[in-house]
Structure 1
Amino acid sequence: MIDLNAILTPGARVRHPQMPDWGIGQVQSNIGGKTTVNFPEAGKIVIDGTRVELIWVVDDE
């Protein structure tokens, strides 16, 4: 399986698969398996890439 979280770059838009209410977030940083995302309804959250595979958003779904 490809680790898509590993290739997330700042500015990428993502969703958290278990927290759809957080909305579409923007990646702030991705260092050492930890991805910081700013979600409109939850604020800045640090995601452990070994536990959660974020969903890339290519367009406004």
Structure 2
Amino acid sequence: MPVKQIKCPQCETPTLYDVSNPWRPFCSERCKLIDLGEWASEGYQIPLSPEPDLWSDELTDDGSSKRPH
């Protein structure tokens, strides 16, 4: 089976994606730890869309706003 070569997600250095690389998919322990640090410090975040109800300016039947004060 041929060994697959990929770019390191951190530094983009070509690296082997194989069991012989203990840091896969990273090229080194350093890149793996940099990535882990980004996750731990919340440097990577999945964007969330705002809740439509929280930003709604709809009015209730009596004319008051549904928005919490």
Q: TM-score scaled to structure 2, two decimals?
A: 0.24
Structure label with greater radius of gyration = 2
* Between structures 1 and 2, the one with greater helix share: 2
TM-score with structure 1 length normalisation?
0.26
Q: Which has the higher contact order (CA 8 A, sep 6+)?
A: 1
